[in-house]
């Protein structure tokens, strides 16, 4: 009952055929349908039950090398007719660009597509009542873990599922038709405690997976959230200095996201990345290897084909510190005069653009305790805040919170400081990579240590 | 504005009337609950992107739906549908109803239309203007950016527009509707010289039609982006540590938005998770500071004739001469605090439940001459443009990121500085405002605020502000 792939495929094929009949040379249609359930509890009481199904249809069409991208959620016959006519008219407003065409047929993915196990029937055994119970159990575990936990910003459980169909067609008929479906659920707990100076301290922990049975238990999530909150009591600024900085995986994930933004084909052809022209050169410490791997079974970011309809493939982006490739979709690849490496993603309403699948900074040999243990005086960062990154120059400066490291131990909590360095230097200065890869999200990263950054505080 | 395309508008194919609304509210309250509302939304949008000297792509879309909310104590049941058939709407109402567990509550006996103000009257919305006129704006901005300086090597310009028609029916017995136009124009450029590259951006907009460009020609935005990129090409390493900072008028209002705005949204105070909980009546800022959230500024990006719960946009003084006066309320929190909603219940779309949100948040001007403020600083940073900010509501720590800033030495702006982050603590920073300019400016329609996964357009504003000490996150320790 939840699997809508066949119906979406039929609608997408029909819209594609009608758009071609209306004058388009080539078209791509993405049709999606799915539903979300999310619940929140706070101090044991339900705060929110949010439940609904949603669908959407996106159309990219080409006519005389012009292009337009449009979307609608209205699937009624007369609405679709108007939608297609408007889309063709919009297309005529853009200006011709030789690169505006579908990928060549031989580049497109072919049946059988890899089965990546992204759908869990068991996900649906949790209804609104079951979701509330899980959130309540997790929050209760946090509240009872320590008397220092005095309040709660709540606990929430959410589940989404989605089916989608992707169809490309030209005047000779359907070029590619692929479908996919996936489930995903998550549980997060956010306890609070009161600090001596009247400040409040908040922390959180979360679990998420495509498969219900692979979530951590609510009790475990609650306990870890409480632990992470209480340890922040008494946080304060430290004096400005240069020092080694260790990033736990929650903070390191943000660094990996920035790395993606500067190897993305869109930034490269726009010359908006400091890594333009750096392929084949050392862009990070030899300890750093990064892959984008869409083919991991049950992976949060896995996909069988990309947003241009090309087959998914594993790309080694950084190998022992050397930049091996940029991540390209078809358009940016053509701009750069090369072939796509299958990294496009496509939302219903937008142009395809390079986007990470499972983007992984490969774990190293070192135990995270040792990474901290080797530091005489440094900062252990658990949270980053803000948007201080300039991809064109690599200048990086962000708000941070975490712990002071003294003689290899986390001694006291720190907040209201910034960590800064040029991102090029930051990556080159990574001198330890943990063996603790965090696989909860599609950005996977272990504990990292940067030999030297500027920490600004008092 | 006279045009209405929404199917739920009078005369439309799914026209909503009081009888049908009553019936739907009856379903929403079929298991009890203290309040229910219906939120109909029809949004048409379009975007135009100009890159490398040509119109790269045009896009557009339509979204239509109904969100149904049922409140039972402090608990919210929410559901939505994307088809306005009676069957789909009833199903959504009954799904939202599951939050309540008591006997049925009666729907309102009468539903009256509510009279609303008009803060953004338009003759013609931009979506009704010919597309060629918009493409011409993009070409003009592109040409102006390129002509500004030979070092400009890349230019990307964009124009986005939407019309959002909403209709809200509340179980309190009223019905409110609004048509909300919004445009945003943006230019991004890259400058290059001797192997160094730098980006810059400019832009603006608001709840305007095409007449916006009479006062803000596209060339202005193109030149501004080019000015920033070239000015920052040879930026110096920024200093690190606590020092004096002067904020330029206008967009610096982000500091307020982050430092105090979010903490004064009533949901955080109802849950007692904000640093400002229980502090009404207390001195929370320097006596120079009067902070206002104002949904009524003509054509501003954050203005609303009506919020997304059906209450008129209004002016709310949050902090008066440093003393905390009140929070921004939505319906749910207003009931908790036994006060009136303040016109701050906003949502991203019919798929989202309303939350207390800011509209246009600003700091009123003070007594000082802006030049005198800069002259008073021996060594510090002058912050002119920003890419955004973030706050931790609970402890009040906030950051905001500078994309154009200068070193101040002996009362004069000297070197341009590399992109740098400022970090401070909200309640603390506002007590350190020591000078306030008489040169108030409102931001030119570019900011979007995110909270709980929902984005809404907002405005910010400030005069020139001097902060006695805040941590500057440079690399030069």
The 3-state secondary structure of B27-71 reads HHCECECCEEEEEEEEEEEEEEEEECCEEEEEEEEEEEEEEEEEE
Per-residue 3-state assignment (H helix, E strand, C coil) for A380-401: EEEEEECCCECCCCCEEEEEEE
- CA nearest to B476 within chain A: A454
CB-CB neighbors (< 8 A) of A422 in chain B: 475
Taking an 8 Å cut-off on Cβ atoms, the answer to whether A386 and B55 are in contact is no
Which domains are assigned to chain B?
18-231 (3.30.2290.10), 240-473 (no CATH)
pLDDT, tens digit (0-9, with 9 covering 90-100), for B326-376: 999 999 999 999 999 999 999 999 999 999 999 999 999 999 999 999 999
Of B83, B153, B421, the CB nearest to A397: B421
Instruction: Compute the half-sphere exposure of residue B97: CA atoms within 13 Å on the CB side of its CA.
Output: 21
**Any chain B CB within 8 A of the CB of A234?**
no
- Torsion A420-A293-A185-A4 (CA) sign: positive
Distance from CA of A370 to the nearest CA of B (A): 27
Sequence-separated (6 or more) residues with CB below 8 Å from residue A300: A184, A208, A209, A210, A358, A439, A440, A441, A442
Residue % of chain A over a pLDDT of 70: 100
Identify the burial level of A297 via C-beta atoms within 10 angstroms of its C-beta, where 0-12 means exposed, 13-18 middle and 19 or more buried.
exposed
CA distance A246 to A408: 12
Predicted confidence (pLDDT) at residue B409 exceeds the cutoff of 50? yes
Q: Looking at chain A from residue 305 to 334, which residues have their Cβ under 8 Å from any Cβ of chain B?
A: none
User: Strands, DSSP E only, in B73-173?
Assistant: 75-81, 112-113, 152-170
Tell me the two tokens of residue B132.
Answer: 């060629």
Would strands A409-422 and A395-406 be described as parallel, antiparallel, or unpaired? antiparallel
Q: Do B82 and A55 touch (CB under 8 A)?
A: yes
Instruction: For residue A276, give the 3-state DSSP assignment.
Output: coil
Chain B CB contacts of A387 below 8 Å = 387-390, 401
CB A269 within 8 A of CB A337: no
B412 Cβ under 8 Å from any chain A Cβ: no
**Cβ neighbours, 10 Å, residue A311:** 17
Answer yes or no: are the C-beta atoms of B270 and B73 closer than 8 Å: no
Q: How far is CA B216 from CA B4, B122, B182, B185, B224, in A?
A: 28, 17, 15, 10, 12
CB distance from B56 to chain A under 8 Å? yes
Helix (H, G, I), strand (E, B) or coil at B477: coil
Q: Nearest Cα to B185, choosing from B435, B451, B446?
A: B446
Asked whether the beta carbons of residue A199 and residue B275 sit closer than 8 angstroms, the reply is: yes
Alpha helices in A323-429, H assignment, sequence order: 330-335, 368-373, 423-428
Structure tokens at A456: 């600004």
Across the interface, of A46, A52, A96, the residue whose CB is closest to B79 is A52
* Record: contact B423-A153, CB cut-off 8 A: no
Dist. CA A210–CA B445, nearest whole Å: 39
Task: For residue B196, count other CB atoms closer than 10 A to its CB.
Answer: 13
The ipTM estimated for the assembled molecules is: 0.93
**Of the candidates A63, A121, A70, the residue with the CA atom closest to the CA atom of residue A92:** A63
Q: What is the pLDDT of residues A38-51, one digit of tens each?
A: 999 999 999 999 99
Q: Answer yes or no: do B473 and A418 touch at CB < 8 A.
A: yes
pLDDT for B273? 92
For residue B403, pLDDT beyond 90: yes
Nearest to A361 by CA among A321, A421, A392: A321
B195: β partners:
none
Residues in chain B: 477
Mean per-residue pLDDT, A381-404: 95
Distance from C-alpha of B252 to C-alpha of B383, rounded to nearest angstrom: 8
Contact B399 A90 (CB under 8 A): no
Question: Which of A48, A456, A457, A458 to mutate: most B Cβ within 10 Å?
Answer: A456
Residue B16 touches chain A, beta carbons under 8 Å: no
Residue A376 neighbours by CB distance under 10 Å: 10
Is B140 within 8 Å of chain A by CB?
no
With CB atoms and an 8 Å threshold, state whether A399 touches B473. yes
From the CA of A103, how many Å to the nearest CA of chain B? 17
Residue that the structure tokens 């490496």 belong to: A341
pLDDT at A349: 86
At A1 the pLDDT is 55
Which of A131, A136, A395 has the most B C-beta neighbours within 10 Å, making it the best mutation to test the interface with B?
A395
CA of B61 to nearest chain A CA: how many angstroms apart?
Answer: 5
Cβ contact A201–B81 (<8 Å): no
Rounded Cα distance between B219 and B216, Å, is 8
d(Cα A305, Cα A166) in Å, to the nearest integer?
Answer: 10
Judge whether A228 is closer than 8 Å to chain B, CB to CB.
no
Which residue in chain B has the smallest CA separation from A100?
Answer: B56
User: In which residue ranges of chain A is CATH 3.30.2290.10 found?
Assistant: 5-229
Of A140, A132, A182, whose CA–CA distance to A162 is shortest? A182
Q: What is the mean pLDDT of chain A?
A: 96
CB contact under 8 A, A422 and B135: no
Q: From CA B307, how far away is CA B328, in angstroms rounded?
A: 12
Q: Say if the Cβ atoms of B473 and A415 lie within 8 Å.
A: no
From CA B200, how far away is CA A442, in angstroms rounded? Answer: 31
Tracing tokens 């502090």 back to the chain, one arrives at: B279
The rounded distance, in Å, linking the Cα atoms of B347 and B455 is: 8
Interchain contact A458–B (C-beta under 8 A) = yes
Mutation for A interface: B255, B398, B423, B477, most A CBs within 10 A? B423
- The β-bridge relationship of strands A66-72 and B54-72 is parallel
pLDDT in tens, B91-137: 999 999 999 988 889 989 999 999 999 999 987 889 889 999 999 99
Test A458 with B63 for CB contact under 8 angstroms: no
Cβ <8 Å between B57 and A240 = no
- The helix/strand/coil state of B90 is helix
Closest listed residue to residue A341, CA positions, set A274, A292, A395: A292
Task: Quote the minimal CA–CA distance from A70 to chain B in Å.
Answer: 5
- Find all residues with CB under 8 Å of B103, minimum gap 6, and list them: B31, B32
Reported confidence tier of residue B14, pLDDT bands at 50, 70, 90: confident
Tokens at B206, concatenated: 């608001």
Average the pLDDT over B288-313 and give the result.
Answer: 97
| pLDDT at B3 > cutoff 80 | no
B92 touches chain A (CB under 8 A): yes
Between CA B19 and CA A389 the distance in angstroms is 54
- Quote the pLDDT of residue B216: 96
Pairing of strands A149-170, A377-385: unpaired
Closest Cβ opposite residue B95 in set A51, A91, A401: A51
One CATH from 1.10.1060.10, 3.30.2290.10, 2.70.98.40, 3.30.50.10 for A5-229 = 3.30.2290.10
B11 pLDDT band (50/70/90 cuts)?
A: confident
Give the CA radius of gyration of chain A.
Answer: 24
Token code pair at residue A453: 């950054």
CB of A351 within 8 Å of any CB in chain B? yes
> Cα distance from B360 to chain A (closest Cα, Å)?
21
Q: Considering only CB atoms, which chain B residues are within 8 Å of A350?
A: 59
Query: In Å, how far from its chain's centre is CA A56?
Result: 21
Which pLDDT does position B180 carry in this prediction? 96
- Respond yes or no on whether the N-terminal peptide bond of residue A123 is cis (omega within 30° of 0): no
- State whether residue B8 is helix, strand or coil: coil
Q: How many whole angstroms separate alpha carbon A332 and alpha carbon A310?
A: 14
Supply the pLDDT for residue B1: 34
Segment 253-312 of chain A within 8 Å of chain B by CB: 270-272, 274, 276
Question: What average pLDDT does this structure show over B173-188?
Answer: 96
- Is residue B111 within 8 A of residue B171, CB to CB? The reply is no
């Amino acid at each position: 009952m939840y699997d809508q792939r066949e119906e979406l495929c039929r609608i997408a094929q029909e819209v594609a055929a009608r758009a071609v009949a209306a004058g388009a040379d080539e078209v791509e249609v993405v049709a999606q349908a799915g539903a979300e359930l999310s619940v929140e509890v706070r101090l044991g009481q339900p705060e929110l039950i949010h439940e609904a199904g949603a669908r959407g249809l996106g159309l990219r069409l080409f006519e005389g090398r012009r292009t337009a991208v449009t979307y609608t959620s209205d699937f009624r016959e007369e609405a679709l007719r108007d939608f297609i006519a408007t889309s063709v008219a919009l297309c005529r407003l853009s200006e011709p660009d030789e690169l505006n065409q579908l990928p060549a047929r031989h580049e497109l993915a072919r049946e059988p597509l890899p089965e990546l196990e992204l759908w869990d029937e068991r996900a649906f055994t949790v209804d609104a009542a079951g979701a509330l119970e899980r959130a309540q159990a997790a929050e209760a575990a946090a509240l009872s873990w320590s008397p220092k936990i005095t309040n709660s910003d709540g606990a929430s459980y959410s589940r989404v599922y989605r089916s989608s169909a992707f169809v490309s067609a030209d005047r000779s008929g359907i070029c590619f038709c692929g479908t996919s479906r996936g489930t995903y659920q998550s549980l997060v707990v956010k306890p609070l405690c009161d600090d001596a100076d009247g400040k409040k301290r908040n922390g959180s922990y979360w679990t998420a997976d495509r498969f219900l049975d692979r979530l951590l238990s609510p009790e475990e999530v609650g306990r870890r959230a409480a632990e992470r909150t209480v340890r922040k009591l008494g946080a304060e600024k430290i004096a400005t200095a240069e020092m080694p900085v260790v990033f736990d995986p929650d903070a390191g994930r943000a660094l990996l996201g920035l790395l993606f933004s500067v190897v993305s084909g869109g930034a490269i052809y726009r010359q908006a990345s400091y890594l333009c022209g750096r392929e084949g050169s050392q862009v990070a410490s030899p300890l750093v290897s990064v892959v984008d791997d869409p083919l991991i079974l049950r992976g949060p970011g896995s996909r069988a084909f990309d947003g241009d309809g090309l087959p998914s493939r594993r790309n080694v982006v950084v190998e022992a510190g050397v930049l091996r490739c940029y991540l390209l979709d078809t358009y940016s690849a053509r701009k750069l005069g090369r072939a796509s490496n299958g990294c496009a993603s496509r939302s219903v309403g937008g142009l395809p653009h390079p986007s990470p699948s499972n983007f992984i900074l490969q774990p190293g040999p070192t135990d995270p305790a040792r990474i901290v243990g080797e530091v005489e005086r440094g900062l252990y960062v658990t949270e980053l805040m803000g948007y201080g990154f300039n991809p064109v120059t690599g200048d990086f400066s962000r708000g941070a919170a975490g712990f002071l490291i003294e003689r290899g131990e986390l001694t006291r909590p720190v907040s209201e400081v910034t960590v800064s360095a040029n991102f090029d230097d930051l990556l080159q200065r990574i001198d330890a990579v943990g063996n603790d890869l965090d696989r909860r999200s599609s950005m996977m990263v272990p504990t990292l240590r940067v030999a030297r950054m500027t920490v600004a505080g008092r | 504005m006279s045009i209405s395309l929404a199917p739920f508008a009078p005369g439309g194919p799914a026209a909503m009337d009081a009888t049908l609304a009553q019936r739907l509210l009856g379903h929403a309250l079929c298991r009890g609950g203290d309040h229910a509302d219906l939120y109909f939304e029809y949004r048409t949008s379009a975007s135009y992107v100009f890159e490398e000297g040509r119109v790269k792509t045009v896009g557009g879309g339509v979204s239509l739906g109904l969100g149904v909310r049922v409140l039972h104590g402090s608990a919210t049941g929410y559901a939505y549908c994307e088809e306005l058939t009676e069957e789909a709407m009833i199903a959504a109402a009954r799904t939202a109803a599951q939050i309540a567990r008591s006997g049925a509550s009666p729907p309102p006996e009468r539903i009256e239309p509510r009279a609303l103000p008009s803060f953004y009257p338009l003759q013609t919305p931009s979506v009704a203007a010919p597309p060629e006129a918009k493409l011409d704006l993009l070409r003009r901005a592109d040409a102006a950016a390129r002509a500004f300086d030979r070092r400009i090597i890349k230019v990307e310009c964009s124009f986005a527009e939407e019309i959002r028609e909403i209709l809200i029916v509340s179980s309190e017995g009223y019905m409110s509707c609004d048509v909300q136009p919004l445009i945003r124009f943006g230019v991004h450029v890259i400058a290059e010289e001797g192997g160094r590259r730098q980006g810059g951006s400019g832009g603006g907009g608001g709840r305007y039609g095409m007449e916006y460009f009479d006062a803000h020609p596209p060339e202005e935005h193109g030149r501004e982006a080019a000015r920033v990129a070239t000015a920052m090409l040879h930026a110096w390493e920024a200093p690190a540590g606590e020092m004096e900072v002067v904020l330029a008028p206008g967009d610096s209002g982000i500091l307020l938005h982050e430092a105090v705005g979010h903490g004064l949204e009533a949901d955080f105070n109802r849950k007692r998770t904000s640093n400002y909980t229980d502090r009404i009546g207390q001195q929370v800022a320097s006596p120079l500071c009067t902070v206002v959230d104002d949904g009524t500024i003509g054509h501003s990006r954050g203005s609303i004739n009506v919020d997304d719960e059906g209450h008129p946009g209004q002016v709310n003084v949050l902090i008066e001469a440093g003393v905390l006066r009140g929070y921004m309320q939505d319906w749910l929190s207003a009931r908790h605090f036994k006060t009136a909603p303040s016109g701050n219940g906003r949502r991203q779309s019919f798929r989202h439940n309303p939350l207390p949100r800011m509209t246009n948040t600003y700091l009123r001007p003070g007594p000082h001459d802006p030049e005198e403020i800069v002259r008073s600083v021996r060594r510090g940073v002058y912050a002119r443009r920003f890419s955004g900010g973030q706050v931790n509501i609970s402890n009040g720590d906030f950051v905001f990121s500078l994309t154009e800033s200068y070193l101040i030495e002996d009362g004069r702006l000297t070197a341009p500085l590399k992109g740098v982050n400022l970090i401070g603590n909200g309640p603390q920073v506002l007590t350190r405002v020591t000078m306030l300019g008489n040169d108030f400016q409102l931001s030119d329609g570019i900011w979007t605020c995110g909270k709980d996964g929902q984005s809404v357009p907002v405005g910010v504003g400030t005069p020139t502000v001097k902060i006695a000490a805040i941590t500057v996150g440079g690399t030069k320790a």
